[in-house]
Structure 1
């Protein structure tokens, strides 16, 4: 690429994926997370079953795939110049059309967002992974039986200091160990074990769910009736709210707009096929979400809960940690423990592989900003996330299970800021680089070449336009529900709401400042000339 400082003409040695299979499984592990199994089934049921699935698949094709390919392209491009974080990738792409100092602004904003998003998500996501491991352990030893109040058990799991902190720390240590081993011996090796195991548990639960008979007191609530409830389309329920929900789910489920896809793709070889890799990643994720989650979770929940599974007040966490264990209690003896353990180990493996991708982004950010070794960067990331994760564990302990801080950070970062980062990525790649040059980068090493109209129609126009509409409507919705209020706070809890808001701003500003310094250090000659 022209006008790149000589320092990056020969990329640093950053490690590479050991095999194509390992890369695909790691990427799938990044995408396949808790949202596949606890968020998707409830959303699909809540928004009309088949009425949700029609716009869902359209959003997958029109929004999901173009952004997925864009992020794979950005990642491999950045890796060739020694970068694994979004800020420098956006800077180098934007510099094709605008002056370096303008590109610096774009790169720094994206760098700050791409630092804040994975770090803040990781700060609370690791706790959920810890809860899953705790529940899997409790199920194995028979402590989740029918005589246990599941609501009280959940409150105890998050507000009792011993289990809340213990399982969180265990997860954090495992993440640091896996990341410290590097790409091939760490992330790839763990993904090769966890992802196949996840699919096995999912298939076993799906078979069990389909074979589960209706209860004598509710003979109409069968597993097949549950599938019909999910897949039978009611076209009268398709509306703008459903469309917005499907777009949000696509971002959530594919880990888009977080910098994670680009980070993993930065470790690709120059001739790796990113077209096939993108499609394979999406396919494995959709198999887990649409096939396994729909077949395992919805029929089983429908048999024991009926249409109560779509109750919005339950929330995804309540559905996973309270409603589903209650459903398992209807099973006889040891079978209840086994099925419960399978469910929570499934959540643990899905959550851990996604948490590892989030964790690795912070490790890469530390490596690029300092002279730390991989191991030192991993344990530094461990300490950073311990500090940032403290409010998530402290609030429930102090306030009897309250999770306002958790909800505030999640609502802003996990479903709003990701959309903004994704939009900027599309604008930079689609409008600041010539379409033929973008296509050349995407098709490099590809056996099945993408046509030019994918770039000119989708990456440049259709996908960013849809995303802009979604962001505008999401902003309007947040204004109407008081998310921008400085006095009321979300749900009326101003203290922990503002602590969450303050944390988001502080982490973003830190990432922004570090990104500016990194880009100024790496591309000082370009910025001085500003041509």
Structure 2
């Protein structure tokens, strides 16, 4: 083992582990994305496929990733490429397993690096808006909140100052390791996040009907929890599945990464249940009880349904402006978003840092600051596009989010499930029950995880592919909704695709080299290795 590699880093307490895992899962996907996804897909109608996806995809894959991570940690592996190689080579020849490991490692690195390349920008936006809220920048009756948002993301000073602040803080935290950095910050940020959320829920649910007798906070809750089956669509179903992956941070390798620092006797099942429960509490109880009631009471259902991604940064400030103590509640809301985004970014940042540390055989601290440089480089087009065009268009950002933040997560999740259920023995699969207070029954592995979960993933991926082809999302020359061709759209969309492919290819090559170097003996013999 290199002098730079160590197995001493790890979780200091079970509470720290659960809070860090919750911080990984509870992020902008819960408080920013979920409300507009639910509102835009029929409210209660969205919740039906959402809960089905949670039970058939979210929980099974969450438990599987916890055990995959613990298995990898036993082999002193902390990234997903080598982990899946070690699982696959139990049934396959190592040279075949190497391909699975390399591709999985490349996919995972591309997902984590590229999501965080734009995710850290949003974290910066939330910090900026927290400051603007507390100082009352959008409280004037004549303030155009859409123009304010566009101006804020096209102002070079604001964009780079708040983005760099976020990146420097992330680099510092991750350089301190799992126990000394991520766990300590999660123990502070997560309780504060939940406290802020509870305060905002109380404020939201006591709003009443301030602008229109037909609009109220309670009617907003009814919109979420009373399904209108006529609004149940296949598009909403796909969105719900993607939201489960994005929200729980599954299919990213992050759960596996954090779980690789578990002790052998740690309870994987209870830890998984706790992570899912804390995430869902934040998403469907807190987030849904803040954003949708406030939006419904002040702006009405029509505006709420059509707001889309702009709901948080453009639509909600209009509501905060009219609320009693709106300046305070607005500041608290955006500070909550900053904490949520930061804790999730820590996990993404930690993964790519560990990848570089293992691949390049350098210390965690050095790798952390090098990775900051990578984020500055890869994330620069996100800032440059909004600064240059002054229109608020985010073609580069949107293209990465379309493929990396949605599509690739499902692909990696499918690979994980196939490897886990078909290339390791049922005895190995059921090892996740070791040390568990509540053990999962055998049908969980032989029926749900082996057949139902992958089948659902295949159906969703197939439908998503067809939808993307029909919508023109895969076209070499992308067009606007009216069929027009904007040269700037073409440039930024294809730049995002080039960056995405380049990062994936380079990461796959380096993962391949790492596995070949570390497991040269097995690969030379090329005989399956039974555990």
Instruction: Please state which band the TM-score falls in when normalised by the shorter chain.
Output: over 0.9
TM-score, normalising length from structure 1?
A: 0.95
Q: Is it true that 1:118 corresponds to 2:118 in the alignment? A: no
CA distance in 2, matches of 1:54, 1:141: 40
Instruction: Classify the secondary structure of the residue corresponding to 2:322.
Output: coil
CA distance in 1, matches of 2:300, 2:77: 50
Q: Is it true that 1:497 corresponds to 2:493 in the alignment? A: yes
Matching residue of 1:520: 516
Matching residue of 1:213: 208
Instruction: Classify the secondary structure of the residue corresponding to 1:321.
Output: coil
The correspondence for 1:451, drawn from 441, 452, 458, is 441
Cα deviations across residues 457-515 of structure 1 (Å, max 9, x unaligned)?
A: 11111000000000001111111111221123676421001000000000001110100
CA contact (8 A) 1:50 1:232 kept: yes
TM superposition shift of 1:436: 2.1
Matching residue of 2:223: 229
Instruction: Classify the secondary structure of the residue corresponding to 2:266.
Output: coil
Aligned length: 517
CA contact (8 A) 1:483 1:490 kept: no
Equivalent runs, 1:100-179 vs 2, <5 Å? 100-146=94-140, 147-179=142-174
Flag the 1:490–1:279 CA change in 2: closer, same or farther, 3 A: farther
Where does structure 1 lack aligned partners over 5 or more consecutive residues? 1-6
TM superposition shift of 1:315: 2.5
Q: CA RMSD of the aligned region, Å?
A: 1.5
TM superposition shift of 1:447: 1.7
Cα deviations across residues 165-193 of structure 1 (Å, max 9, x unaligned)?
A: 00000000000011011111100000001
Instruction: Classify the secondary structure of the residue corresponding to 1:184.
Output: helix
The correspondence for 1:468, drawn from 458, 469, 481, is 458
CA distance in 1, matches of 2:458, 2:466: 12
CA contact (8 A) 1:14 1:267 kept: no
TM superposition shift of 1:12: 4.6
CA contact (8 A) 1:408 1:490 kept: no
CA distance in 2, matches of 1:483, 1:243: 19
Matching residue of 2:28: 34
TM superposition shift of 1:283: 0.1
Q: Is it true that 1:375 corresponds to 2:369 in the alignment? A: no
Cα deviations across residues 140-177 of structure 1 (Å, max 9, x unaligned)?
A: 12222133221111111111100000000000000001
CA distance in 2, matches of 1:389, 1:490: 24
The correspondence for 1:13, drawn from 7, 28, 31, is 7
Equivalent runs, 1:257-272 vs 2, <5 Å? 257-272=251-266
CA contact (8 A) 2:295 2:304 kept: no
Matching residue of 2:183: 188
TM superposition shift of 1:14: 4.6
Instruction: Classify the secondary structure of the residue corresponding to 1:225.
Output: helix
Instruction: Classify the secondary structure of the residue corresponding to 2:42.
Output: coil
CA contact (8 A) 2:296 2:304 kept: no
TM superposition shift of 1:274: 0.7
CA distance in 2, matches of 1:520, 1:189: 36
TM superposition shift of 1:456: 0.7
Instruction: Classify the secondary structure of the residue corresponding to 1:154.
Output: helix
Deviates more, 1:445-454 or 1:121-130: 445-454
Q: Is it true that 1:506 corresponds to 2:498 in the alignment? A: no
Flag the 1:361–1:489 CA change in 2: closer, same or farther, 3 A: farther
Cα deviations across residues 241-290 of structure 1 (Å, max 9, x unaligned)?
A: 33222111111110111111111111111111110000000000000001
The correspondence for 2:237, drawn from 226, 235, 243, is 243
CA distance in 2, matches of 1:325, 1:420: 37
Cα deviations across residues 384-405 of structure 1 (Å, max 9, x unaligned)?
A: 1111010000011111132100
CA distance in 1, matches of 2:353, 2:150: 32
Instruction: Classify the secondary structure of the residue corresponding to 1:326.
Output: helix
Matching residue of 1:436: 427
Q: Is it true that 1:346 corresponds to 2:346 in the alignment? A: no
Matching residue of 2:302: 308
Flag the 1:90–1:490 CA change in 2: closer, same or farther, 3 A: farther
CA contact (8 A) 2:304 2:311 kept: no
Q: Is it true that 1:361 corresponds to 2:356 in the alignment? A: no
Cα deviations across residues 73-92 of structure 1 (Å, max 9, x unaligned)?
A: 11111111111111000000
CA contact (8 A) 1:490 1:497 kept: no
Matching residue of 1:425: 416
The correspondence for 2:193, drawn from 198, 218, 222, is 198
CA distance in 2, matches of 1:357, 1:157: 27
TM superposition shift of 1:311: 3.6
CA distance in 1, matches of 2:320, 2:491: 37
CA contact (8 A) 1:489 1:497 kept: no
Flag the 1:372–1:530 CA change in 2: closer, same or farther, 3 A: same
CA distance in 1, matches of 2:190, 2:202: 19
Matching residue of 1:4: none
Matching residue of 1:3: none
TM-score, normalising length from structure 2?
A: 0.95
